[in-house]
Structure 1
């Protein structure tokens, strides 16, 4: 939705300058260093780089079969003002996950800062200065936790060293605690602000000389007692999202894009559109050449004095489209193509033992196919950006998950040097992967360029977002298992047929990339002697992109549903059968299974731990009361999954009405993500994952006919409504006190087990199998 004032007003207001300490501002480096205070630390401790370190998206995600992925290079500013205020610069995007808060209190804890004296500022897009800024892959704290701790501890040590030097006492006799540096013997003390200038004159201490706090002394880390730093601004409407950005002289723009991916403008008549009061300019944006990557789709842009005029003028355009090579794309028919592909041999991505021989000797053979449709991220705030090009300098304000990628695309498209482009990151009203692709920011830049550099706000409507997005892939998963006389599988075959995200980076790409295969397929951790996993070819007819949890969604749905089918065939309890299939506790190097990606992590540090996977399954089952007697038409279902180096399980209680309506009454979700930095936000993420996962299970899908998305808004693309949410969601956080050990991801791992747990619960309640999503009215027949 567009706020009424944005749609109707022709009068711009000044660019907002936040007044509250928790508000976020984008400022120049000079202003930042000068305004923050006396002590400013730019701390960078680089860990050994791994092969194909980073930079280009296809390589970064394993297209070239790198062994262990990439490492980030953190450069985080910590500043202490003369009044003692500590300012932390957050280099990752805030979109509701609480990263601004979590990053700040990790530093504040090691710094021994009082929370009331801490504020946060948002970094602009500059990977050289701030390290990797892509907020994706559930890795913001996973990759930066120890670096953030060292930044806070180094600042604390510098304060201590400065005070010891001023008092001419040994450093060992000086202590920093609760925002005060003290010398007990002489009873002297200094506030952080009083000694900050002296500390700033000292060299940054070597990493090995910096002592981190013992976990038992943490005040913020792991306590879960701190609310969001910007919660008041968000709830009172003061927070600045991408759609809220306004600067003097700003114009507004929308784009009529090709209704079919790969299409282009043949001709257009803008005579009627120009009659709309307030229209400033109408011009054509050329369609991109393949591969499309993050480029705009092309079309006809309309720039006006307000959004309403731009939208009305777009409606008045008469555009003739060449629909291009995807003009006949029909997702229902394409499902048949995927099914055909999944029923024939494909590219082997893991081969263990002799599947064909074991299958031939099995006592029983079970097979099933599962289907997941296209999905769209549909964040509450659609894509939006403001761009101004002035005196050869491009400045953007955008709700982007990837400010550095945005910067690079702007520089390339406008043919500007890197230092002539700046991307200011606003708060995001949701992202889920959509806002890591900055095509909409490039569109805004082209609009500004078309009006001699005047600032232009480019707005996507909800319909634009649903019709022209980067969609989660459509997939067919075929599984076959040969069972022994005890009902356990001796042979396992899984074919996963789905268009790849690689198709936006390489024209004609038809097989999934290693990072997609490594999301619950190649790293299947079951104790089965003979396993073969295959990936048949599949064409992409739409833009395929990241969606929260990505390929874990279809893989988890298929595998965890199939395990439930095997348990039924064996006459065994589904939870006990799943645990037996996982087998004894062991730590598995995923590269030995064919997963060359492992979420970009070193497998020696991040193995698949079947003991931890068993632990979350047992915790979810215990929480929901697994095994209790159930009322008629109600049932319990369970599913577990490993993703983003985190182990998660979901147990669901479902009731099915007489007309086939599904009611999810209760969900228990258990997570083992290693050390817990911010338990309150972990709980919130898991609760949100349950609700989002329910939408994928019950109602959400995008279908295509004649190359066009058939859904328009939330009336067609249905997400979970508040009246459908479970009355009870219980989150079980498995403790892990080893804060020197590796952290797992949190933002995405909660989604994949939700749909199979619900589907399995429906079978327990009704005896009917769910093998395709969304469920919708399947049970009403």
Structure 2
């Protein structure tokens, strides 16, 4: 339990919230808090005091909480004298609605009036708030039950305080939307009127807290609540990384090595220093491989405004040492990957006798699939403000990983943990790019160099595309031996791709367990003989997380290949896919080589082929599978399991006379277990469809002489508005109970989109798509 004095001290340096909860990002004074919230506050906490700051990695359980912690994580709920409920959100908001979903979970168990609920954003502190890395589609999966218990515990304390006030048993008191009710006497009192007394009570033990009957939910699972930040976002009051302003702020851009691993050989800043407004030019060290999350290096230009920094950077004369990746050419490298895919590699899963069964098969089918480098390209490029002064650093950033930013600032500046603070703004998209805080460190280095003035470090779109963390390039080779009925008796899959591990360790050549566990080793087909291999592949650019990560190439290859096998067998693709999956059963993923299992307990999260079958059947039914289509049109289908969620896509495409592909309609079915916020699930699936269309049709990054060839959206094409399907039908497939495990939502919708479109193209034209993006492949 935390009392007023302690809470005031904690919040005095926290980001402020606007009327609807968006951070204003100015430090609050104690007077300001008391004036805005009232003097009496209720808060819930695991323990008194702040844990000792440590620089070593934090250790977390499967639920995202530090080992050894009890249930209620630090300060998450405050109730003011006027009844206002303030929920602290510890995950980064980038359009997925996590601020809303966490708040509505607390509000429901608290039995609060939604109109009286606000949200503030937690700063980076995993010892206080638990794991804050917003990735892996795990925010609600890991914290839903914690926040239910937090809200329920607060409600129990309010009831106990009211019972003492009225001198009646607590069992006689109920709550009714922000009001405590004693039915026998007819007395009613608002939450704010007993908040002070409730704040004096101990937090009840977890086992004593009674959760709501789900039948009584007001908000959870209803899908009737909009985004809590919606008014601020639509009226321009919301604060993103690029919006942060500090008194006396300067602005900076960095000229970075054009080739990964390159460095500055020499530079001449004479012309730069003549640009009006330029304050400082200095060299940033970098170029080390592996690069981890630290800056690439280069030359920084700090100025009084962004335009001066841009013009100053343009005027720099730099001689680059391009380093070991100077000759990187993606066309050449693709050939190297294909060669590797055609030879045996490291075996990552095997069962039966693949070679023997392949030799006896009635027919053999083989195919290779290619996925290029991709880049996250969020609408808001990376940006951060930092101030390094008086032996401390404070940063404001659109980051998915505030604790990661905190730890890298400690490392770069040589500061103790309690002298570094990272405040989190809203994110204008992330998709994995903003989990890597190199740009936050750059901002801090600039501030230190100019004597402690706050500096806003800006990345342009060209910076973002030229110097990002790219989704891996990959070749997937599949071979199958078919029996007389056209079903596989042998299955061989070789996946060749540079690994994300290459940014952490020198030149690893194999994918890591979490990459292999994204749709490869956990292929859930009923196959008697299977061998999965991972040949070597080197990395020549920074490889990083991209929405749904390695599920993209694995799903594209496997679901496309299944459709090819169905055609070879003369079968309907849907029926063939369902037969390949086999009957409904639960598979322990560790028994088929998946030691990662998305970080979850395999006993709680087995692979359930019945759920996978249902989403495939649902998407197909929604699309009217089997109906006759006009010439040049086709239906394609794909299903996939990722982030412990099951999704399937049925896409209807039309191919024009010049080979142009138009996606007319998409049905996407998702089974993520209990649905906390259905409105956001639908939104995430709609967004996944559009993003997946970009991967299928237009998006790619290529390299020549180590340099990215695409610099803006004219080269790296995302799907335009006029290309969006006229209809995207989202089918929420219910499963599980509120006592059971939740799945993920943010990432699972993307993987099946591209193979569904590719399979639809074949149905429309008879031509196979084995490489992404499609672009002009069909124009010949």
Shorter chain as normaliser: what TM range?
over 0.9
Residue 742 of structure 1 deviates from its aligned partner by 0.5
Residue 168 of structure 1 deviates from its aligned partner by 1.4
Instruction: Check conservation: 2:15, 2:121, Cα contact below 8 A.
Output: no
Q: For 1:228-627, what aligned pairs fall within 5 Å after superposition?
A: 228-627=227-626
Query: Residue 42 of structure 1: SS of its match in structure 2?
Result: coil
Aligned residue number for residue 72 of structure 1 = 65
Query: Residue 351 of structure 1: SS of its match in structure 2?
Result: strand
Instruction: Check conservation: 2:64, 2:143, Cα contact below 8 A.
Output: no
Aligned residue number for residue 643 of structure 1 = 642
Instruction: Check conservation: 2:500, 2:544, Cα contact below 8 A.
Output: yes
1:55–1:523 CA distance, 2 compared to 1 (3 A):
farther
Task: Give the whole-Å Cα distance in 2 for the aligned partners of 1:207 and 1:30.
Answer: 34
Residue 166 of structure 1 deviates from its aligned partner by 1.5
Task: Give the whole-Å Cα distance in 2 for the aligned partners of 1:72 and 1:333.
Answer: 45
CA deviation digits over 1:318-352, x for unaligned, max 9? 00000000000000000000000011111110011
Query: Residue 485 of structure 1: SS of its match in structure 2?
Result: coil
Is structure 2 residue 45 aligned with structure 1 residue 40?
no
Residue 257 of structure 1 deviates from its aligned partner by 0.2
Instruction: Check conservation: 2:157, 2:198, Cα contact below 8 A.
Output: yes
Residue 27 of structure 1 deviates from its aligned partner by 7.1
Task: Give the whole-Å Cα distance in 2 for the aligned partners of 1:671 and 1:126.
Answer: 33
Instruction: Check conservation: 1:69, 1:599, Cα contact below 8 A.
Output: no
Aligned residue number for residue 665 of structure 2 = 666
Residue 218 of structure 1 deviates from its aligned partner by 0.5
Query: Residue 76 of structure 2: SS of its match in structure 1?
Result: strand
Query: Residue 356 of structure 2: SS of its match in structure 1?
Result: helix
Give the unaligned 5+ runs of structure 1.
1-14, 46-53, 61-67
Residue 17 of structure 1 deviates from its aligned partner by 6.2
CA deviation digits over 1:456-514, x for unaligned, max 9? 00000000000000000000000000111110001100000000000000011110000
Task: Give the whole-Å Cα distance in 1 for the aligned partners of 2:18 and 2:350.
Answer: 60
Task: Give the whole-Å Cα distance in 2 for the aligned partners of 1:751 and 1:460.
Answer: 26
Aligned residue number for residue 224 of structure 2 = 225
CA deviation digits over 1:671-691, x for unaligned, max 9? 000000000000000000000
Is structure 2 residue 692 aligned with structure 1 residue 693?
yes
Q: For 1:155-234, what aligned pairs fall within 5 Å after superposition?
A: 155-234=154-233
Instruction: Check conservation: 2:24, 2:239, Cα contact below 8 A.
Output: no
Residue 389 of structure 1 deviates from its aligned partner by 1.2
CA deviation digits over 1:180-231, x for unaligned, max 9? 1111111112100000000000000000000111111101000000011110
Higher mean displacement: 679-688 or 34-43:
34-43
1:226–1:69 CA distance, 2 compared to 1 (3 A):
closer
Query: Residue 41 of structure 1: SS of its match in structure 2?
Result: coil
Query: Residue 23 of structure 2: SS of its match in structure 1?
Result: coil
1:692–1:76 CA distance, 2 compared to 1 (3 A):
farther
Task: Give the whole-Å Cα distance in 2 for the aligned partners of 1:480 and 1:572.
Answer: 18
TM-score, normalized by length of structure 2?
Answer: 0.94
Higher mean displacement: 528-537 or 31-40:
31-40
Task: Give the whole-Å Cα distance in 2 for the aligned partners of 1:251 and 1:25.
Answer: 19
CA deviation digits over 1:530-569, x for unaligned, max 9? 1100000100000000000000000000000000000000
Instruction: Check conservation: 2:15, 2:28, Cα contact below 8 A.
Output: no
Residue 377 of structure 1 deviates from its aligned partner by 0.1
Residue 33 of structure 1 deviates from its aligned partner by 8.4
Query: Residue 778 of structure 1: SS of its match in structure 2?
Result: coil
Query: Residue 240 of structure 1: SS of its match in structure 2?
Result: coil
Instruction: Check conservation: 1:651, 1:668, Cα contact below 8 A.
Output: yes
Task: Give the whole-Å Cα distance in 1 for the aligned partners of 2:20 and 2:560.
Answer: 49
Task: Give the whole-Å Cα distance in 2 for the aligned partners of 1:56 and 1:613.
Answer: 36
CA deviation digits over 1:628-687, x for unaligned, max 9? 001001000000000000000000000000110001000000000000000000000000
Task: Give the whole-Å Cα distance in 2 for the aligned partners of 1:16 and 1:738.
Answer: 36
Residue 19 of structure 1 deviates from its aligned partner by 4.1
Instruction: Check conservation: 2:260, 2:287, Cα contact below 8 A.
Output: no
Instruction: Check conservation: 1:38, 1:79, Cα contact below 8 A.
Output: no
Residue 38 of structure 1 deviates from its aligned partner by 2.6
Query: Residue 163 of structure 2: SS of its match in structure 1?
Result: helix
Query: Residue 751 of structure 1: SS of its match in structure 2?
Result: coil
Is structure 2 residue 762 aligned with structure 1 residue 763?
yes
Residue 167 of structure 1 deviates from its aligned partner by 1.3
CA deviation digits over 1:388-422, x for unaligned, max 9? 11211100000000001100100111000100000
Give the unaligned 5+ runs of structure 2.
1-13, 48-54, 67-72
Q: For 1:132-147, what aligned pairs fall within 5 Å after superposition?
A: 132-147=131-146
1:594–1:737 CA distance, 2 compared to 1 (3 A):
closer
Instruction: Check conservation: 2:15, 2:27, Cα contact below 8 A.
Output: no
Aligned residue number for residue 773 of structure 1 = 772
Task: Give the whole-Å Cα distance in 2 for the aligned partners of 1:723 and 1:632.
Answer: 22
Task: Give the whole-Å Cα distance in 2 for the aligned partners of 1:75 and 1:491.
Answer: 53
Task: Give the whole-Å Cα distance in 1 for the aligned partners of 2:416 and 2:403.
Answer: 14
Instruction: Check conservation: 1:69, 1:597, Cα contact below 8 A.
Output: no
Task: Give the whole-Å Cα distance in 2 for the aligned partners of 1:592 and 1:246.
Answer: 53
Task: Give the whole-Å Cα distance in 1 for the aligned partners of 2:41 and 2:589.
Answer: 44
CA deviation digits over 1:268-294, x for unaligned, max 9? 011111110000000001114332100
Instruction: Check conservation: 2:590, 2:602, Cα contact below 8 A.
Output: yes
Task: Give the whole-Å Cα distance in 1 for the aligned partners of 2:417 and 2:33.
Answer: 21
Residue 56 of structure 1 deviates from its aligned partner by 4.7
Task: Give the whole-Å Cα distance in 1 for the aligned partners of 2:109 and 2:699.
Answer: 44
Residue 737 of structure 1 deviates from its aligned partner by 5.7
1:733–1:522 CA distance, 2 compared to 1 (3 A):
same
1:79–1:18 CA distance, 2 compared to 1 (3 A):
closer
Aligned residue number for residue 127 of structure 2 = 128
TM-score, normalized by length of structure 1?
Answer: 0.94
Instruction: Check conservation: 1:40, 1:77, Cα contact below 8 A.
Output: no
Task: Give the whole-Å Cα distance in 1 for the aligned partners of 2:418 and 2:294.
Answer: 21
Residue 22 of structure 1 deviates from its aligned partner by 2.6
Instruction: Check conservation: 2:42, 2:198, Cα contact below 8 A.
Output: no
Task: Give the whole-Å Cα distance in 2 for the aligned partners of 1:161 and 1:580.
Answer: 57
1:69–1:597 CA distance, 2 compared to 1 (3 A):
farther
Query: Residue 726 of structure 1: SS of its match in structure 2?
Result: coil
Residue 236 of structure 1 deviates from its aligned partner by 1.0
Task: Give the whole-Å Cα distance in 1 for the aligned partners of 2:399 and 2:479.
Answer: 42
Task: Give the whole-Å Cα distance in 2 for the aligned partners of 1:182 and 1:105.
Answer: 22
Task: State how many pairs are aligned.
Answer: 751
Instruction: Check conservation: 1:492, 1:532, Cα contact below 8 A.
Output: yes
CA deviation digits over 1:613-635, x for unaligned, max 9? 00000000000000000100100
Is structure 2 residue 136 aligned with structure 1 residue 112?
no
1:150–1:16 CA distance, 2 compared to 1 (3 A):
closer
Instruction: Check conservation: 2:253, 2:457, Cα contact below 8 A.
Output: yes
Task: Give the whole-Å Cα distance in 1 for the aligned partners of 2:20 and 2:726.
Answer: 36
Query: Residue 566 of structure 2: SS of its match in structure 1?
Result: helix
Aligned residue number for residue 737 of structure 2 = 738
Instruction: Check conservation: 1:26, 1:124, Cα contact below 8 A.
Output: no
Aligned residue number for residue 49 of structure 1 = none
Higher mean displacement: 611-620 or 164-173:
164-173
